[in-house]
Each structure stands twice: as structure tokens, then as C-alpha cells.
């Protein structure tokens, strides 16, 4: 469908959080120090759009924390409590944008859009991409509804779920490696090809920012052993994302450690270090078959950063411990999808070890 705005004026709240889009040269490198007004001043505004700026914080996004992400979630809800606001744009650093956008999407029940954008080139550079990205994000925020949280970058519109940073420096920095973008923006219109698949949104968390649970990420590799998983649990992690090889595989020792962690009440999600494709229960011998049997929750096509946010959101929800694995499964995998096709032997197979 093609979204074009009517002539009604639109009010957009722009929440500035820092990142490259707000970064200037500091003598030895770039760091975020520009205000939201400074960022907005570099961009033209779509016709009929007025913008109110909220300077929430100003950090390089590698310094993003769960506490800041919860603060951002609440700031967006505060902005949307004003019925006169038509949408929200969040300017954010690209390193952790995928995590913040997905966390907000898990809690976003409003039909009005929240649109994340940023830049790959710093503020004020001659070939800067920030001004165009801000313009496009404002255009999308002023036009669409019922699409959840979006990422708008380099003329493309992405669903928050599954979208990750795929390029360290290139302008076309974001994609969902397992799915296409949902649309594009340009020449005064927004073309949306499909609606994102989203689970039922969660209520706003009530936890204090200083009381957030620890959630760690542990990656398997050729010499991987349970040391870091056990260390995370011993350090008080209430959730762990295990990043397996292939379709979500590790070793028998790690599967045993997962079982021990789950028995202690630690929530474990299973993702993969492979860029695209789902976690699949194909292999035993410490593979996903054994890891899931030990209590790990497969992450579908979500990668580590977003799987971690789903674990965090589950722990912040008001469901009891016995219901958390089921909730986590729904957040990781979204609406129910068909099972993979069966082979002639009757087993599911869509990958290789």
C-alpha cells in the first residue's frame, strides 16, 4: 500500500539520544555532543509537519544500557500520552539501535508509529546521511499507522523485529537478513509492502531503572565450554542468551550447563551466530535438540541483541516464573508460524551442521 498524507498538519515528537547523528570531532575521534535541535536544524521538514524536540540523553550508542532503554520506552509513552501527537521519531546511534527499537516494539500498543533513525556519518560532514534520514523518518512518522516500531534508514522502512545492523560503515546500514524490508520512502510518499508480524504487546514495565535484572550473552565457538555460561549464572544473571553455531548448536557439556541454569531459575534463550535463518532442532550431541530439551528457548530468526531484549522484557513482565518460558517463546518467535517441511524420513530439516 502507498501511504500519502492528507493536508492535516502533523505534530511529531523527536526524542534525541545521541549517536553518530549527533557526533562531532573531539580531537581524537567523534563523540555525541549535539542537541536534538542541532540535529533537526540540519534537515528540511516535510510539508505540514511540526516537530517538538526532547533531549533525553546524549551518548554514543555503544554506551547504551538497559536502564537508558527503559527510560526511552517511558519517554515514548509519555509523548504518546498527548493525543495531539501524531508520531514519534527517535534519533539513536546505530550500534545498539536494533536492541532499543525491538525493546520498544515489544511494548508498543499504540496505532501511532515510533520511528528510529540515525546516521553512519557524523554531524556536519559534507556527505552526511543524517539530514536525509531524519527527513524520511519524519515523513514516515507523519504518514503510517498500525505498523509498530519501525527503523527508517537510507530510504528503506524496516520492521523493528529482526532488523539488525549489517554494515559497519555503509549508508545502507540496516536489514533483516531473514526477511525483506517492509517498504521504502521517497518523493513525498511512503510505500509499505507488508505489515510486520508482531506478538501481543506487553504492558509498560513497572521496575525501577536501578533494579533491572542482569541478562548476559554467551557465544559458542570451536573450543567453547560451559565456563562463561556458568560464570554468568554465578554472577547473578537472571537471563542468558546462548549464541550457538549453525542452526543453534553447542556441546553436551553446554547442554548440561543450560539444564543446571534453568533449574536455578535462569531464563535461557538460544540464538545463532549465523547471519540468517532460524534456530532449528535438528542435531543432538549438544545441538539444539539437547539444548531445547534442557530448557533453552529457541529464538527463531532473532539474533543475540534482540533475543536479549526479549529475555529482559520477559523478566520485567508480571508473569510468574512458571509462565516465563512460554512468554519468552512468543516474544522471540512472534505469531505462530507453520512448521518447517518434513523430509521423506519424517524429520524436519532445513540446514546443515
What is the chain's pLDDT, residue by residue, as a tens digit (353 residues)?
665 666 789 999 999 999 999 999 999 999 999 999 999 999 999 999 999 999 999 999 999 999 999 999 999 999 999 999 999 999 999 999 999 999 999 999 999 999 999 999 999 888 899 999 999 999 999 999 999 999 999 999 999 999 999 999 999 999 999 999 999 999 889 999 999 999 999 999 999 999 999 999 999 999 999 999 999 999 999 999 999 999 999 999 999 999 999 999 999 999 999 999 999 999 999 999 999 999 999 999 999 999 999 999 999 999 999 999 999 999 999 876 544 443 333 434 444 54
Instruction: Specify whether 20 is catalytic.
Output: yes
The whole-angstrom separation of Cα 251 and Cα 249 is 7
Query: SS3 for the chain, per residue?
Result: CEECCCCCCEEEEEEEEECHHHEEECCCCEEECCCHHHHHHCCCCCCCEEEEEEEEEEECHHHCCHHHHHHHHHHHHHHHCCCCCCEEEEECCCCCHHHHHHHHHHCCCCCCCEEEECCCCCCCCCCCCHHHHHHHHHHHHCCCCCCCEEEEECCEEEECCCCEECCCCCCCCEEECCECCCEEEECCEEEECCCCCCCCCCCCCCCCHHHCCCEEEEECCCCCCCHHHHHHHHCCCCEEEEEEECCCECCHHHHHHHHHHHHCCCEEEEEECCCCCCCCCCCCCCCHHHHHHCCCEECCCCCHHHHHHHHHHHHHCCCCHHHHHHHHHHHHHCCCCCCCCECCCCCECCCCC
Strands 174-175 and 87-91: unpaired
Contacts of residue 173, Cβ cutoff 8 Å, sequence gap at least 6: 94, 120, 153, 154, 165, 166, 167
How does strand 87-91 pair with strand 10-18?
Answer: parallel
Task: Determine which one of 17, 20, 251, 301 is catalytic.
Answer: 20
Amino acid at each position: 500500500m502507498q501511504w500519502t498524507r492528507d493536508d492535516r498538519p502533523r505534530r511529531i515528537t523527536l526524542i534525541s539520544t545521541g549517536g553518530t547523528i549527533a557526533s562531532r570531532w573531539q580531537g581524537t575521534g567523534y563523540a555525541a555532543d549535539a542537541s536534538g535541535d542541532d540535529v533537526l536544524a540540519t534537515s528540511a521538514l516535510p510539508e505540514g509537519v511540526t516537530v517538538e524536540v526532547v533531549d533525553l540523553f546524549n551518548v554514543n550508542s555503544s554506551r547504551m544500557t538497559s536502564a537508558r532503554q527503559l527510560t526511552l520506552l517511558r519517554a515514548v509513552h509519555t509523548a504518546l500520552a498527548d493525543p495531539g501527537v501524531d508520531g514519534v521519531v527517535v534519533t539513536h546511534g546505530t550500534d545498539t539501535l536494533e536492541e532499543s527499537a525491538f525493546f520498544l516494539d515489544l511494548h508498543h500498543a499504540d496505532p501511532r508509529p515510533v520511528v528510529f533513525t540515525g546516521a553512519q556519518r557524523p554531524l556536519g560532514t559534507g556527505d552526511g546521511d543524517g539530514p536525509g534520514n531524519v527527513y524520511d523518518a519524519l515523513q514516515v512518522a507523519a504518514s503510517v499507522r498500525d505498523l509498530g516500531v519501525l527503523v527508517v534508514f537510507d530510504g528503506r522502512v524496516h520492521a523493528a523485529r529482526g532488523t539488525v545492523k549489517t554494515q559497519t560503515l555503509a549508508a545502507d546500514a540496516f536489514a533483516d537478513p531473514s526477511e525483506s524490508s517492509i517498504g521504502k520512502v521517497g518523493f513525498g510518499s511512503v510505500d509499505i509492502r507488508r505489515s510486520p508480524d508482531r506478538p501481543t504487546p506487553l504492558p509498560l514495565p513497572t521496575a525501577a531503572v536501578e533494579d533491572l535484572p542482569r541478562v548476559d550473552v554467551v557465544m559458542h565457538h570451536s573450543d567453547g565450554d560451559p565456563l562463561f555460561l556458568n560464570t554468568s549464572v554465578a554472577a547473578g544473571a537472571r537471563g542468558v542468551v546462548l549464541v550457538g553455531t549453525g542452526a543453534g548448536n553447542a556441546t553436551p557439556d553446554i547442554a548440561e550447563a543450560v539444564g543446571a541454569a534453568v533449574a536455578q531459575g535462569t531464563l535461557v534463550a538460544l540464538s545463532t551466530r549465523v547471519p540468517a535463518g532460524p534456530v532449528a532442532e535438528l542435531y543432538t550431541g549438544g545441538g539444539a535438540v539437547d539444548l531445547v530439551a534442557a530448557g533453552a528457548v529457541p529464538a527463531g530468526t532473532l539474533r543475540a541483541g534482540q533475543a536479549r531484549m526479549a529475555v529482559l522484557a520477559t523478566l520485567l513482565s508480571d508473569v510468574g516464573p512458571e509462565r516465563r518460558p512460554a512468554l519468552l517463546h512468543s516474544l522471540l518467535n512472534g505469531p505462530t508460524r507453520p512448521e518447517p517441511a518434513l523430509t521423506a524420513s519424517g524429520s524436519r530439516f532445513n540446514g546443515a551442521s
